[in-house]
Amino acid sequence: MAETESLLETPLAGLHRELGGRMVGFAGYAMPVQYAAGIMAEHLACRSSAALFDVSHMGQAELRGEGAAAALERVTPAEVAALRPGRQRYALLMNRFGGIVDDFMVANLGDRLFLVLNASRKAVDLEAIGAALPAGVALVPRPDRALLALQGPGAESILAGLAEGVAAMPFMGVLETSVAGIPALVTRSGYTGEDGFEIGIPAEGAETVARALLAAGAAPAGLGARDSLRLEAGLPLYGQDIDETTSPVEAALTFSIGKRRRLAWDFPGAERVREELDSGPKRLRVGIVPDGRQPARAHTPIAQGGITVGEVTSGGFGPSLGVPVAMGYVARAAAEDGTALELMVRGRAIPARVAPTPFVPHRYKRTPILQGVAP
C-alpha cells in the first residue's frame, strides 16, 4: 500500500509481523499499534507482569567532548553539569520564547552524555542542540542503535536472568552491560509508570535481545498500550500535551528545572518561566476524570458553567482503572483538584472533575535511602 511504502522500519520489523503486529505509521516509522492480544491485554500485562516495547524509532545520540554538559545546558533548564556518571535525568529542550521544543532523557556515561529523543522531534532536536555547541563538543547521532523498553513489575527478574548488575540499579540509573550476550546500554526508566528498563543495543543485536526477553516471559506490547499506560501514569506526550507553545510551568514540568538554573536563569525562555513562576501561568496541565464511561479524546473543549476554560490534550480509557481518564490545559482558576468541569463531547456536556496525576501510582525503583530523608 502506497501510504506505508515510504515508512521507515525498525530492526524488529520482521519480528513484529511474525508476532501479528498491526502496523501503523508513527513519526515516519511503521510501528506495531498492537499485537494479537490487543491493547487492553497488553496494557494489563505491563501492569501485572512485564511488557516489551520496540522504541527503536526514538532518536539516540551522543554528546562528546570537554564541556558537553555545559553546552547542553545552553538549550535545557535541566541540571546537566551535576549529573553524576551512571545517572540519567528527564530534561526539556527549550526555545527562547519559553516553549518546549522536546522532552528527552540525558544520561551521563562518564566519558560522554547519551540522549534519547522523541521520534517525531529528533531532526529538530539534533539541529537545535548542534547549533548551540562550541568547538570541541560533538553531537553524534546513533541511528545504528535500537532501543527496547521492558516495563512492569516482572521486568527486573526477566532482565536479571539475561544481564549482570541490573537488579541493583536504582530508578534513573544507567549501566553499560550485556543482555543475552549483546553489549547494551541499560537505564532503569520508562514511560509507563512501572518499574522497568530501557535497553539500547546495536541494531543487528536487537532481534536476539527481543527474542530472549520474550522467551523469558515478557509480553509484546505496541504503541496503543504505550499510550494508555503513559496516560494513566500522567506522563505528557510531545506534540499532544506539550509543544513549542507550552511552557514548563504550564505543563507542570518545573521539576525538570535545576535549582541552580533557577538562580542563574541562564536557559532559553527563562524570562517567561520566571514570570510564570512568580505570577502564575494563565493555564495549567491537569488530570481530568470524566463521570461515567464515555472517554473524552484530544481536542475536546473543556467548559465551566458553559464557558470554555480549556481543552483536552490526551484522553481515553484507562484499562487498569476501568474508567476514562484525560489530561488537558485549563485556566488557572479551574486547575484546583476536585474542580467541576464539563467536557463537550459531540455537543453534550459530560460532567468531569480535575484530578491529581498519576491516575495509577508510579512504582519506580526508588532507592530506600531517599525514602528515609525528610523533605
Partner 1 sequence: MSQTRFAESHEWVRLDDGLAVVGISTHAQDALGDVVFVDLPEPGREVEAGEAVAVVESVKAASDIYAPVAGTIAAVNAALVDDPALVNRDPMGEGWFFTITPRDAADADKLMDADAYAKHAEAGN
From candidates 7, 8, 40, 160, binder to partner 1 by CB under 8 A: 40
The contact mask relative to partner 1 for 253-282 (x = CB under 8 A, - = no) is ------------------------------
In the complex with partner 1, the residue whose CB is nearer, 10 or 228, is 228
Q: Compare residues 320 and 357 and give the one whose CB is closer to partner 1.
A: 320
Q: In the complex, what is the shortest distance from the CB of residue 41 to partner 1, in angstroms, rounded to a whole number?
A: 8
Q: Which one among 118, 228, 246, 256 touches partner 1, defined by CB under 8 A?
A: 228
Least CB distance to partner 1 at residue 295 (A): 5
* Shortest distance (Å) from residue 40 CB to partner 1: 4
Q: Binding of partner 1 at residue 8 (CB under 8 A)?
A: no
- For position 16 contacting partner 1 by CB under 8 A, the verdict is no
CA separation for the pair 327, 73 (Å, rounded)? 29
> By CB under 8 A, is residue 43 in contact with partner 1?
yes
Between 93 and 225, name the residue whose CB sits nearer to partner 1.
Answer: 225
59 near partner 1 (CB under 8 A): no
Q: Which of the ranges 61-69, 117-125, 222-230, 255-263 carries the binding residues for partner 1, by CB under 8 A? A: 222-230
With binding defined as CB under 8 A, does residue 346 bind partner 1?
A: yes
Please work out the total of residues on this chain that contact partner 1, with binding judged by CB under 8 A.
19
* Paired sense of beta strands 51-54 and 219-220, if any: parallel
Question: To the nearest whole angstrom, how small is the minimum distance from the Cβ of residue 316 to partner 1?
Answer: 6
Smallest distance, partner 1 to C-beta of residue 233, A: 15
Residue 239 makes contact with partner 1 by CB under 8 A: no
Q: Applying CB under 8 A, does 224 fall inside the site for partner 1?
A: yes
Distance CA 269, CA 119 (A): 24
Q: How far is the CB of 43 from partner 1 (least distance, A)?
A: 8
Distance CA 349, CA 137 (A): 54
Annotate each residue in 291-330 with x if it binds partner 1 (CB under 8 A) or - if it does not, as one string. --xxx-x------------------xx-x----x------
Give the residues lining the site for partner 1 (CB under 8 A). 1, 33-34, 38-40, 43, 224, 227-228, 293-295, 297, 316-317, 319, 324, 346
